[in-house]
Structure 1
Amino acid sequence: MKNLLLIEIVLFLSSFCCYGKQFDVIDNYKGNSILETIDIWELEKDCQKPNDFWQLTNAEREKILEHCLVNQIAPYFDNLYENINNTVVIYDVHDLRFTINKKIYNKVINNKKYPVKELHLSLFHKGNLKDKIILANSYYDVESYYWLSSQYYYIAPNGDIYLLLVKDINASVKPIFWKHYQINKENLRLQLKGLLIDEGYKYQIIYPYKFEILEGTLEKSKYNIDKLKTCYQEKYSTNCSIDSYRYYHNLLSQKVISLKDKKTNFNESIDKIDKQINEICLLIPAPNYSYETEEFTYNITKCLAEQLNNKIKKIDQILLE
């Protein structure tokens, strides 16, 4: 039985190597390659409309809109929604098949229906569904503020997948998150490798170990220390919970230095501790929609702050010995 299992694994890996280097997805369904290397921080600047936008001439407004990359790629995806009616096979080689299908449904909010369009990517191996993700979507978010939420994608020749979610409001087009997926060759699942979030706060996650806040400092926080000690527990205070994470991370870094000075045989570093803690908290599922980002950020920072706080307490006990 073990030999048969080993043979199956070898055959599986061998067959994967046949198509593991290039995924020649049908050109019409690859998405837009801009998304592979797009700088979402620059995108936000490029897509910001000036205050006097509506006082400008039509030609001037058109020039400003063309400068925004999102406005350049949006028509491609509008056409894609129109062209996909049934399930489309976009790759089919050596028992591995990618399909895209369109889903249209209504969100009901306050007894009103709001249409949602989505494109789903499914990965099949020997006819068995291995994984599925939302490639693209378009809908009006009316629960918090009335804006158009749109997600775009690109499937690279190596099989990597890049997603960009933006919101289009009257003043500008703003990125919400950017994702990078890779195909896991062992289980043929679509594995999230990178996540950038820009929702009034900027941070990145490189799975499975790295969490990094990209903007601001603890010194510039508008919250006092007493507030930072507890606000990571408050669900609707996301900016404070991010600074709370900063507070506990800085405190732990100081404690680690103190412990190293006291006990020369202490071999842990803040980088090593970060890796251990992040591996636990980054198991929290990433957001799929714009309205999920705030709760995701809260859950991540709460988990991280709790883990940091627990580690601080343990080090304090050692320091008292």
Structure 2
Amino acid sequence: MSVAIGPRPEPVHTVAVYAFAGMAPFELGVVVEVFGLARPEVSGLLAVPWYGVVVCADEPGVPLDAVGGFSLTARHGLDELAAADTVIVPGVPDASGGAVPPGLVAALRTAHRRGARIVSICSGAFALAAAGLLDGLEATTHWRYADLLQQRHPRVRVNPDVLYVDNGSVLTSAGSAAGIDLCLHLVRRDHGARVANTVARRFVVPPHRDGGQAQFIEAAVKPVEEEDDGIGRSMRWALDHLAEPLSVPLLARRARMSERSYLRHFTARNGTSPMRWVVTQRIAASLPLLESPDGTVEEIAAAVGFDSAATFRHHFGRVVRTSPTAYRRTFGRTVA
């Protein structure tokens, strides 16, 4: 007697998220919302199945008090977390003074050795650092924890001025809302730009912020409209003239300031130099052009103010950590 066996179903990519007593529920909710919600709106766009989510805790089945006066119970333990395809740590119990739970550290190391993707949101970076997964890498966390993370883990290159950092198999994001950016970035990596944009629309958030959903997002500055001083005026003018030659002397004149004073005040306000900010804004302006099928890389470089395609590629690689052509291949929209 023979039995016909059909094709085996495609395995579901499991996302495990860590829960703990005293946690703020927002970051946990972001992970569950992005990866755990049924999404019929993308079913026709997926080449592989959507994610499966498991919420894991040090002691499964034990109620965990959360900020806001309620409790939740995780059904899964750290063994399931260590076995997941993507592991997300949305925070740690006490970033300021407490040690990271040793069971979590061990589970993260096990998952990383297996080849899992390890992700942190906000203070969750302390757990990844405690496990040694950030040694020698650039990472970020909430700005209020950045100095402490650097002091406690000097082998980590902490960058407090970015929304998230993608090191391939290890990713970190800044405070709460930056977790949305990073989770959407993961969806874009796994399923492409069209699916990520669809999820963002249901989330009622932009699909990318501050230069687009890139592998590495440069410093997010305060909105230019917030201040009407000389610095703000020069920045608004620069954004309207990105395709033209820009320089510190020109921007300083627009601000009606000396070059030395302009440099000092600009850097103090934005955490970066004027020309580095200009380059970042030009890269940001290039992303929607690259996502469109129109225009060559050379034409896009000129349209956003780079003097050559080679210069554009150099700065694009530094900021986005990929080439313009590779970005277009991954995130570009095709004409229906």
TM-score greater than 0.5 by the shorter chain: no
Question: If the length of structure 2 is used for normalisation, what is the TM-score?
Answer: 0.30
Question: If the length of structure 1 is used for normalisation, what is the TM-score?
Answer: 0.31
Between structures 1 and 2, the one with greater helix share? 2
Q: Which has the larger radius of gyration?
A: 1
Between structures 1 and 2, the one with greater strand share? 1
